[in-house]
Each structure stands twice: as C-alpha cells, then as structure tokens.
Amino acid sequence: MRIPVGSDSLKAFPFLTYNESFISYRGGRQPLKHLLQVVVEQHTFLPRDFVGGDSALDFLNTVTGRDQSPRDWLDSYARLIEWAALAKLFPQDVLWRLTKEAKREPAAAMRALTGAKTFREQSFALLANIISGRSPSKDALRLLREQWLAGVSSFELRFEGSRVVKDFSGEVDLDSITRMIGYRIVENVLTSPIERLRMCQGPNCSWLFIDTSKGGRRRWCDMAVCGNAAKSRRFYARTGGLFGDLSS
C-alpha cells in the first residue's frame, strides 16, 4: 500500500509504504533516493505525548519524525492499550477486557494492531493533505467513513432531562480503539476550523495538532521541544556554527 502525503506549503513530504515486514517512507520528489525506514521502537507513553488537542490526533502522533527519521511507538497491542489508557479513550474496565482478549487471542490482536496502523497512516495522509490544501484520497475517505460509522454504532442514545445524550455502549472488541479514533476524527477533528489544524514545523517531528491558542499562531507541537530546537537551528545557521550547534 502506498499513500501520498504531499505538502508543498509545509515541507516536502514523503510517501509512505507498508509491506508485510516493514513500513517505509519515500520522498515524493525523488522517490527512490529517499527511502526512510520506520523504526518500531519501545516507548513508554507520557502525558507530554498528548499535545494534539484531541486523542485522535495524539493517536496519529504515535509515529514521530515522519519527515526525517520516522519512529513508530506502537510496538505491540499491549502498547496500544497503554496508549488508550493514557488517552482516556475508554473506561478502565473496558481496557481490562481488551487486555484479556488480546492475551487470549494474540494473533487476532496482532491483526488488529496492523489494522490500527493502516488506518493511522491513511488518516495522517488525509489530514496532511487537507492541511496543505490538497484533496485527500478517495481510499482514505472511504476507510475513514467505515471506521466512523463503526464508531457511531458504539454509542447508544438516551433521553435525559430535556435532551438526548450519547452513551458508550461498553461493547468492545480488538478493533474498537481504531473505530473510536475514526469516530473522533470525523466528530472532533474535522469539525474544527480547518485553518486551526496544523502540522508541527519543528525538525524531525510532523506531529499534528489543533491550534486552540487565542492568536492562532501556534507552530510547534511543544514550544519547549520543537520550538527551541528550530530556534537553535536558525541560530546555528545565522552564526555559521560559531557558537556550536545548540540543538544537539
């Protein structure tokens, strides 16, 4: 599967490919010369990994450094559940049930993880295209629709007081995390003002976030990380390295 993730206005964005054993990114302009292999690495998720403004974007941000040295932090289905717990995607008892199911059916859990990653990359491509003013692919829209509709069916409607409220049904299977991300992309992310959807401009990052700042000028996923790194690089470039590379 190959997914174009073009973005002239932001940065020369790579293409991404999956096959059975690895995921790789290909630079869009010189495809064969820029093959960036994604390294799947162990990562303990921390609150600082949740800066997207919605857990759907935080999920897409479980690959970091897509522009230079991509690292995929979902090294197992158990890690996906660990991520979902920190994201508060489901109540804890639901996550316990998913944990048990994954232990009982490891092959099915692995398939679900692969499905989650496929959806993650299609959705990243979809949003990266929208951010850069391009049309998302029909395939990405079709997959998003599938997951969104499946996510909708995870809710029940109840009348309380004078209004209808949505309740999570509590019924889950190994693909429920993916469905909930699809639901949130449509309901929460794509309903945000498009001009507030951003990709971090920091080096080796490419995280997505919703800019909710008052002035609407947020450029970095995290000023303390990517903002300072970019400033150090500019300083290094301006001074010709006279004072050393402060970003390292």
Residues forming contacts to Zn ion in the complex (CB under 5 A) are 200, 202, 205, 207, 221, 226
**178 within 8 A of 196, measured Cβ to Cβ:** no
Q: Which is nearer to Zn ion, 50 or 183 (CB)?
A: 50
Sign, Cα dihedral of 183, 189, 193, 199 = negative
Minimum CB separation of residue 103 from Zn ion in Å reads: 35
Nearer to Zn ion, 41 or 139 (CB): 41
Q: Rounded to whole angstroms, how far apart are CA atoms 232 and 111?
A: 42
* Minimum distance from residue 233 beta carbon to Zn ion (Å): 13
Shortest approach of Zn ion to residue 10 CB, angstroms?
Answer: 12
Closer by beta carbon to Zn ion, 148 or else 207: 207
21: exposed, middle or buried (Cβ count in 10 Å: 0-12, 13-18, 19+): exposed
User: Which residues are registered as beta bridge partners of 14?
Assistant: 27
Residue closer to Zn ion (CB basis): 77 or 83: 83
**Choice between 25 and 77, CB closer to Zn ion:** 25
Q: Are strands 63-64 and 39-40 parallel, antiparallel or unpaired?
A: unpaired
- Residue 41 C-beta: closest distance to Zn ion, Å: 17
CA-wise closest residue to 228 among 208, 198, 194, 203:
203
Least Å from the CB of residue 210 to Zn ion: 14
Rg (CA), the chain: 19
